[in-house]
Amino acid sequence: MTSGQLIREARLRAGITQQELADRLSRTLSQVNRWENDGAEPGLTALLRILRACGFDLALELVPFTEDPALAADIQKRLLLTPSERMLDLLNRIRPDGD
């Protein structure tokens, strides 16, 4: 989920328009529109302020990241290919029958 999708979801759940959100934040309607369409991405502090203006908060917590060894190996293998080899590999995965 992008920050724009999160902002839009919070605004819609709050039942307010983009203009109402802009007014609550003392921002312009075009700024709210840019956020929601991912044309501009607010920083974390601004994102929290936007969500709170909609009556929501964002729970932030650190969770352990577990790497997928098979995925990591696949990425490493593909990085060794030339760009044209990567393209051929991609095409073969998309169209395995060569259609």
Helix (H/G/I), strand (E/B), else coil: 40: coil
6-34: pLDDT as tens digits: 999 999 999 999 999 999 999 999 999 99
**33-43 pLDDT, tens per residue?**
999 999 999 99
pTM: 0.65
26 by Cβ neighbours in 10 Å (0-12 / 13-18 / 19+) ranks as exposed
Q: Is the pLDDT of residue 82 over 90?
A: yes
Q: How far apart are the first and last CA of the chain?
A: 34
- Residue 65, pLDDT > 90, answer no
Stretch 68-83: mean pLDDT = 91
